[in-house]
Structure 1
Amino acid sequence: MSLSIRNQLSGTVIAVSTGPAMATVKIRLDSGRELTAAVTAEAVADLGIFPGGTVNALMKASEVALATAPVDGLSIRNQLPGTVTSVTPGAAMAVVRVAIEGGITLTSAITKEAVDELGLAAGSPVVALIKATEISLSTS
C-alpha cells in the first residue's frame, strides 16, 4: 500500500500499556531513539502489537512541529533532535526536511512565518516535536 504520509519510521515495540479504550506503545527506532504512540486498545489487538514486535510509526508532515531547542515542561513526549537539510517555502506554508539520527529524514509542514521567526535554514539545529496521539501505527 502506498501512502501520502511522508514520515514512516520503523522500530521495535519495547512496551505496551493498554487501558479500556486507549493504549500507549513505546517504540525504539533503529537509531536507538524512542517514540511513544497513543492508539486505541482495539488497534493494538487488531494489529497484534506486542513487545519485541516491529511496527511502522506514521505521522503527517503537518503534525511535526519544530523548535530550535529541547522544550521542558511540555506534554509532548516525542522530541527528536536533528538538523534542517532543506526548506522549501511557499506563499503561506513551508516544507522543512530534518535529518535525525540513524539516517532518518522527517518532513515538517509549518507556516512560512514560523520558518522566518525561527530563522530556519539548511544547517539549523532543531527538535522535531510530535504528539503521541498524532502517530499512527502499522504492521507488516
Structure 2
Amino acid sequence: MSIQAINVRNQFRGKIHSITEDDVLSALDIETPSGIVSSVITTRSVRDLGLVVGSEVVALVKATEVSLAKL
C-alpha cells in the first residue's frame, strides 16, 4: 500500500529521533521540519517495521477529537 492510498491528510515526514522501548509499548519521537511529533506504538510494531533511531518515516495523524483546557 502506498502512502497516497491512505485516507489521512495530516502527514509529517521526518526521522526517528528517539525510541523508548518497554515490554509492550514504545514511545517514539520523530523530528520533522515543524518540530517533534511523538507516537506510542507497540514494541512488536517497532521490531516488525525495523524502526531504529535515524529511520525515515511518515507520521500519519488522524483524530476525531482534539480536547483543549485553558491554563
| Matched residue type, 1:84 | I
SS at match of 1:113: helix
Alignment of 1:77-116 (within 5 A): 77-102=9-34, 104-116=35-47
Residue deviations 1:32-80 (CA, integer Å, cap 9, x gap):
xxxxxxxxxxxxxxxxxxxxxxxxxxxxxxxxxxxxxx61211111111
Residue deviations 1:3-55 (CA, integer Å, cap 9, x gap):
xxxxxxxxxxxxxxxxxxxxxxxxxxxxxxxxxxxxxxxxxxxxxxxxxxxxx
| Alignment CA distance shift 1:92-1:137 (3 Å) | closer
- CA shift for structure 1 position 133: 2.2
Which structure has more relative contact order (CA 8 Å, sep 6+)? It is: 2
TM-score, L = length of structure 1: 0.45
- CA shift for structure 1 position 137: 6.4
Quick one: distance in 1 between partners of 2:38 and 2:17?
10
Residue deviations 1:84-113 (CA, integer Å, cap 9, x gap):
0011100000000100003x1111000001
Q: Would you identify which runs of 4 or more consecutive aligned residues in structure 1 move more than 4 Å? A: none
Is 2:3 the counterpart of 1:71? yes
Gaps spanning 5+ residues in structure 1: where?
Answer: 1-69
Across the aligned residues of Structure 1 and Structure 2, the Cα RMSD in angstroms comes to: 1.8
- Count how many residue pairs are aligned between Structure 1 and Structure 2: 68
8 Å CA contact retained: 1:79, 1:129: yes
Q: Which protein has the bigger strand share?
A: 1
8 Å CA contact retained: 1:87, 1:97: yes
